[in-house]
């Protein structure tokens, strides 16, 4: 099978961990060990990943510049794609004993400049803060902030992905047996101008939505949305919570789930399963192969 595996941001930096290269390297090594099992099971693999903490860190570093000299989010997204891709690429090569080529592709993703998301930023990036510190940083830097659990973070525009113009390059690499790491952080957000040219835009695309679009355009057999929770739960965190194992796209869309966590994953899973007829699985990174075999996680597919 052709499998697109989307790693949540916690695959490279767990909540509360310092944003150090050492922590990210250790988490990339653990992620690569699980991804290698997918390859050993005989599947063709495409890997995507989040970048919320990393792009936020680079934006903080950019605050040292004058406002007019700071790099925009599309450039910072490209930088994080290279940084995270490098770590995953190297660790995956090591996990597979260099038996199969691995390549990282910085991937442009077209969005619509008229998307209402540009008027209502919702995408969390960067570290978490107390409300007081977040408000102080927002006032100094012109940020918009929102509550993330019991803490506060910066939010930026998250327009829907429309097109992946680099799909031809991806197909060439996959045709040569290359494991590809791409669409990092949801891809590099770009606009297509009236003359057909592309230009970057200040935004961060949701990684799950971009991964679902990628899986559809690649005609993948399965989309794995891998996180640190073993399944999608009804009434998660409350008495009587129950894991949901098998869902149709229609039932998945009817679930009331948090917009900042499982909501985007369920929406992406339903979109892929409905469009391609393949399996969309949600669950723990270390159970990736079991999710493919429908012995772990939550599965979204036509007919459930």
| Same domain? 6 vs 25 | yes
Q: Please, is 196 exposed, middle or buried when counting C-beta atoms within 10 Å of its C-beta (0-12, 13-18, 19+)?
A: exposed
Answer whether residue 146 shows pLDDT above 60: yes
- Please enumerate in sequence order all residues whose Cβ is within 8 A of that of 289, keeping only pairs 6 or more positions apart, or say none: 37, 38, 41
Catalytic residues: 9-10, 123, 207, 265
Would the pTM of this model clear 0.95, i.e. be above it? no
Answer whether residue 303 shows pLDDT above 70: yes
For range 24-45, the mean pLDDT? 95
| Same domain? 93 vs 129 | no
Within a domain: residue 116?
no
Within a domain: residue 117?
no
pLDDT tier at 170, thresholds 50, 70, 90: very high
| Same domain? 204 vs 176 | yes
| Same domain? 11 vs 152 | no
Within a domain: residue 206?
yes
- Please enumerate in sequence order all residues whose Cβ is within 8 A of that of 2, keeping only pairs 6 or more positions apart, or say none: 43, 44, 46, 174, 218, 219, 220, 221, 222
| Same domain? 150 vs 176 | no
Average pLDDT of every residue of the chain:
91
| Same domain? 175 vs 267 | yes
| Same domain? 87 vs 35 | yes
| Same domain? 208 vs 61 | yes
Report phi then psi at 147, rounded to 5.
Answer: -70, 135
For range 205-230, the mean pLDDT? 95
Q: How far is residue 231's CA from residue 234's CA, in Å, rounded to a whole number?
A: 10
Answer whether residue 63 shows pLDDT above 70: no
Answer whether residue 260 shows pLDDT above 80: no
| Same domain? 225 vs 184 | yes
Q: What is the CATH number of the domain that holds 12?
A: 3.40.1160.10
To the nearest 10 degrees (0 to 180), the angle between helices 73-95 and 52-62 is: 130
In the block, tokens 């007919």 appear at 303
pLDDT of residue 11: 64
Within a domain: residue 48?
yes
For range 85-109, the mean pLDDT? 97
| Same domain? 180 vs 79 | yes
Among residues 134, 156, 178, which one ends one of the domains?
Answer: 156
- Per-residue tokens: 97: 């004993």
**In the chain, pLDDT over 90 holds for what percent of residues?**
70
**In the chain, pLDDT over 70 holds for what percent of residues?**
96
| Same domain? 202 vs 296 | yes
- Please enumerate in sequence order all residues whose Cβ is within 8 A of that of 197, keeping only pairs 6 or more positions apart, or say none: none
The better pLDDT of the pair 261, 140 is held by 140
| Same domain? 40 vs 147 | no
pLDDT tier at 40, thresholds 50, 70, 90: very high
- Per-residue tokens: 192: 């297509």
* Number of domains within the chain: 2
CA atoms within 13 A on the CB side of 255: 27
Q: Which domain holds residue 198?
A: 2-110+160-300
Q: Please tell me the least confidently modeled range out of 98-107, 118-127, 212-221, 286-295.
A: 118-127
pLDDT tier at 67, thresholds 50, 70, 90: low
Contact in structure between 19 and 52 (CB atoms under 8 Å): no
Contact in structure between 76 and 62 (CB atoms under 8 Å): yes
């Amino acid at each position: 099978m052709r499998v697109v595996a989307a790693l949540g941001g916690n695959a490279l930096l767990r909540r509360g961990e310092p944003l150090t290269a050492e922590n990210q390297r250790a988490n990339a090594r653990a992620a690569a060990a699980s991804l290698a099992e997918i390859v050993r099971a005989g599947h063709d693999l495409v890997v995507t990943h989040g970048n919320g903490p990393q792009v936020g860190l680079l934006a903080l570093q950019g605050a040292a510049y004058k406002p007019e000299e700071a790099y925009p989010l599309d450039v910072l997204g490209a930088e994080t794609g290279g940084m995270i891709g490098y770590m995953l690429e190297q660790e995956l090569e090591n996990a597979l004993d260099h038996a199969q080529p691995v390549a990282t592709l910085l991937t442009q993703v077209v969005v619509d400049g008229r998307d209402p998301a540009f008027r209502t930023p919702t995408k969390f990036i960067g570290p978490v803060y107390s409300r007081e510190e977040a408000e102080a940083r927002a006032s100094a830097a012109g940020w918009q902030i929102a509550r993330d659990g019991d803490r506060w973070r910066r939010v930026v525009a998250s327009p829907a992905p429309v097109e992946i113009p680099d799909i031809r390059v991806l197909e060439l690499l996959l045709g040569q047996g290359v494991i590809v790491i791409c669409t990092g952080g949801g891809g590099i957000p770009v606009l297509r101008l009236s003359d057909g040219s592309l230009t970057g835009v200040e935004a961060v695309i949701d990684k799950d939505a971009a991964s679902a679009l990628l899986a559809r355009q690649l005609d993948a057999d399965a989309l794995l949305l891998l996180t640190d929770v073993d399944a999608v739960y009804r009434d998660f965190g409350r008495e009587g919570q129950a894991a949901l194992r098998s869902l149709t796209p229609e039932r998945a869309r009817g679930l009331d789930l948090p917009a900042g966590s499982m909501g985007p994953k369920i929406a992406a899973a339903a979109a892929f399963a409905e469009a391609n007829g393949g399996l969309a699985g949600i669950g723990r990174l270390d159970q990736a192969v079991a999710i493919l075999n429908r012995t772990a996680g939550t599965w979204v597919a036509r007919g459930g």
